[in-house]
Amino acid sequence: MNNIRKTIGIDMDGVLADIEQQFMDWYENEYGVIVPREERLGVLEPEGFPEKGAIKRYVNTPGFFRTIPVMEGAVEAVKRLMEDYDVYIVSAAMEFPQCLSEKHEWLAEHFPFISWRNIIFCGDKSVVVTDYLIDDHCKNLDFCKGKAVMFDASHNVNQHHHLRVHSWTEILAFFEQEKVSEENTVTAATA
């Protein structure tokens, strides 16, 4: 039997870190306007708010990436996945000046159980090869060499060419099903 563990690549923004909530909170704080998710469905993040330059300004502001709230259920789910898989955090962290250090600090605070060896900060995720990739952007999932799992976000609601999950509960259910399928395949092969 093959004892090599499968690998999962997990995106940060929009998957582990609730960047949509961060955008909404920062926008409301600055402009006093709440822009509900329903009004941003199918719209890329920079275009989803009335003041078009706001999002770009936020991602270039020190403290933005460091203070993003954790996605509900993410910490517990990642711990659970690590029992059966080699989990890697895969995040584009080169575009904005403070992004790299802030994301590193954010992970150290919220996911201290993830080894530095399992953190991949990059510019282009297409070079990362894992058995699974959980991300909210098709620009990353379209190049996935394993199974692509799209985490639901307002900007990707009109994209339907990847398996979609809406929560960390659904991610855990998906991987439980994957485990059962794998066990059935091994049982059938040895019978």
* Catalytic sites, residue numbers: 11, 13
Query: Judging by DSSP bridges, how do beta strands 132-135 and 147-151 pair with one another?
Result: parallel
CA dist 138 and 55 (Å) reads 20
Tell me how far CA of residue 73 lies from CA of 49, 89, 183, 187, in angstroms.
27, 16, 26, 32
Q: Which of helix, strand or coil describes residue 120?
A: strand
Task: Pick left, alpha or beta for residue 73 (phi over 0 → left; psi -120 to 50 → alpha; otherwise beta).
Answer: left
Q: Which of 137, 134, 152, 129 is nearest to 95 (CA)?
A: 137
- CB-count exposure of residue 131 (10 Å: 0-12, 13-18, 19+): middle
